[in-house]
Structure 1
Amino acid sequence: MGKRYRTIGGTIFDLSNYLLLGLVGIVSVLPFIYVIAGSFASDAELTKRAVFLIPETFTTSAYEFIFSTDTIIKSIWVSVYVTVVGTLVNLFFTVSMAYALSKRNLMGRNTVLNLIIFSMLFGGGLIPTYLVVRELHLLDTYWALMIPGAISAFNLIIVKNFFQELPPELEEAAKIDGCSELGLLWKIVLPLSMPVLATFTLFYAVGHWNNFFSALLYINDPSKWPLQVMLRQIVLLSQAAAGDINSMDPSFVKPPEQSIKMAVIVVGTIPILLVYPFLQKHFAKGVLIGSVKG
């Protein structure tokens, strides 16, 4: 093949794209780097310096305050448990219902789909939802953080559309070989659906990890608080301690209020960020597949 020559306009266009995307990347990353640096800085430095990427005085006092008891470790395990089990519950119900609704000959299919779309537009409200959770005796249980949102209507529709786009010849061939509906789903449909399943696994997992309001409503036992609620309590505690510093013992060391807030962001963000690289390759493909046809 002959040598490919680039025009001056094409070169300028590519360089402009690289420059623009590089600037966008820097603007996106710099705030998080500042938060990490601020979590290792003192309150005096945070007050004195508006923005910095490397602290002048390196200190771990914020993290020492956060991990001063084993409650934060337990809350991390609670969040991990709720995230893993809750995501499995989400996937089980979403995939089961989406596979059934992907069958065009299913009796009552259109009625069920209309009800699902209706639920996307209208909700029961906070108080009715709380009453349902209470009557089901789910208060102060981890199931209260998983069952009420077991199925996302939007995710369900995307997964259903993906299942509908699979070649019908595969289903026909499997049934000729004596495969049942459950075997068809487990052996053929799910292996072909890994991109979309990986994508919504990430969506559901991030939702459970960041879930704060549901735990605040339904969990009264502090030993069952997930990480997000526990981090909120730590921030409130640091603010209260900072406000009452004059009435405390002279030997009391004032917790670094501003750096604690930044350390809380780091502690709450890093674990779920570590999951993303394992699912990233499926992310864009999984979102686009299933959203083209209805």
Structure 2
Amino acid sequence: METPVNQQPALQSSPFQKRKRLGVADIIIHAILIFLTICTLFPFYNVILMSFSDTVAISKQVVYLIPTTFDLSAYSYIFHEPRFLKAFLVTLFVTVVGTLVNLTVTLTGSYVLSKTGFPGRKIIMSGILFTMFFNGGLIPFYLMMKDFHLINNLFVMILPVAVNTFYLIICIAFFRTLPVGLEESAKIDGANDIQVLYKIVLPISMPMVATIALFYAVDRWNEWWFGVLFMTDINLLPLQALLRELLTNYQQVLSSITTSVVVQNTGLHPKMIKMAVLVVSTLPIICLYPFMQKYFAKGVLIGSIKG
């Protein structure tokens, strides 16, 4: 008996096409994760709302759930500081140049130290690990920076922290996991070690490079201690040090005059200044995450080795 032409054999449904029904345990786990996510994001949400609130709204309620006002007085107080633009440019320079220096020294150094046949590798690694646990102290460090003529020099916030020992060890461990065949095949084709590093190793290590770059960028953006310690010229202070100075000066005014008098004269509640400082200091570096997120999701060796 012939099968009719119009009739198609029933396709067997794949188990992956069936929608998985959530059990009680899955619902509980999802609920717990959602609750933890809310607990994590709520402080940021509260900080942003309080930075845009006015003194009346902050005085009435401590925790914000629904925005009731929109006031830019706190941001106006920060942005109208004459040194704000200079401090922002200083921090931008330190972040961009410092991150490039950090990546260059860390990636090249870790690549060399990941080679077991490199002469003196154990001695160098011992010296690097020694710096994680011991240092010469603040006064000798200051005198050394003075001898290097780095006082009132922006590179004092870059060169002394050119390498983070912990990040260097992470890169060394990562480079050791890469297949040796990749480098050997490149050297057979005539590539030297520098070409192997920048044309073979780094392109397939972008997830690790992006992560380390983000860590270094956050460190350089948040740099304020070296600025306070080594900068006697107030025009060379980084943004974080300037924001700290603005907040400290405002708190000193509060300590000498009652809060109600200050609020009445300036129209600014102390919490408004604190929250606005937090937003201004963290928002620019948070904007980097969406652009670097794609590297975190990629596999390390996708497309590098053909099966």
After the TM superposition, which residues 1-294 of structure 1 pair with which residues of structure 2 at under 5 Å, given as runs? Answer: 1-2=12-13, 4=15, 11-243=23-255, 253-283=266-296
More displaced stretch, 66-75 vs 195-204: 66-75
1:102 and 1:160 in contact (8 A); partners too: yes
**5+ unaligned residues in a row in structure 1: which ranges?**
288-294
Question: What's the TM-score, normalizing by structure 2?
Answer: 0.85
Deviation at 1:51, TM superposition (A): 0.6
2:49 and 2:67 in contact (8 A); partners too: yes
1:61 and 1:256 in contact (8 A); partners too: no
2:111 and 2:175 in contact (8 A); partners too: yes
Instruction: Supply the distance in 2 between the matched residues of 1:286 and 1:125 (Cα, whole angstroms).
Output: 42
Instruction: Supply the distance in 1 between the matched residues of 2:281 and 2:65 (Cα, whole angstroms).
Output: 20
Deviation at 1:60, TM superposition (A): 1.2
Bigger radius of gyration among the two: 2
**5+ unaligned residues in a row in structure 2: which ranges?**
1-11, 301-307
C-alpha distance after superposition, 1:23-67 (max 9, x if no partner)? 111111111111111111223432321211334332211111111
Report sequence identity in percent: 42
More displaced stretch, 72-81 vs 269-278: 72-81
* Matched residue count: 284
Deviation at 1:190, TM superposition (A): 1.2
User: Residue 4 of structure 2 corresponds to which residue in structure 1?
Assistant: none
2:103 aligned partner, one-letter code: L
Aligned pair in 2 of structure 1 residues 55, 239: CA closer, same or farther (>3 Å)? farther
Instruction: Supply the distance in 1 between the matched residues of 2:256 and 2:132 (Cα, whole angstroms).
Output: 46
1:198 and 1:279 in contact (8 A); partners too: yes
1:78 and 1:224 in contact (8 A); partners too: yes
Instruction: Supply the distance in 1 between the matched residues of 2:123 and 2:97 (Cα, whole angstroms).
Output: 30
Aligned pair in 2 of structure 1 residues 221, 31: CA closer, same or farther (>3 Å)? same
SS at match of 1:237: helix
User: Residue 304 of structure 2 corresponds to which residue in structure 1?
Assistant: none
Instruction: Supply the distance in 2 between the matched residues of 1:280 and 1:14 (Cα, whole angstroms).
Output: 27
1:150 aligned partner, one-letter code: A
2:74 and 2:273 in contact (8 A); partners too: yes
2:54 and 2:268 in contact (8 A); partners too: no
2:112 and 2:118 in contact (8 A); partners too: yes
Deviation at 1:124, TM superposition (A): 2.1
2:55 and 2:268 in contact (8 A); partners too: no
1:241 and 1:254 in contact (8 A); partners too: no
Instruction: Supply the distance in 1 between the matched residues of 2:150 and 2:192 (Cα, whole angstroms).
Output: 36
C-alpha distance after superposition, 1:262-286 (max 9, x if no partner)? 1000000100000012223434879
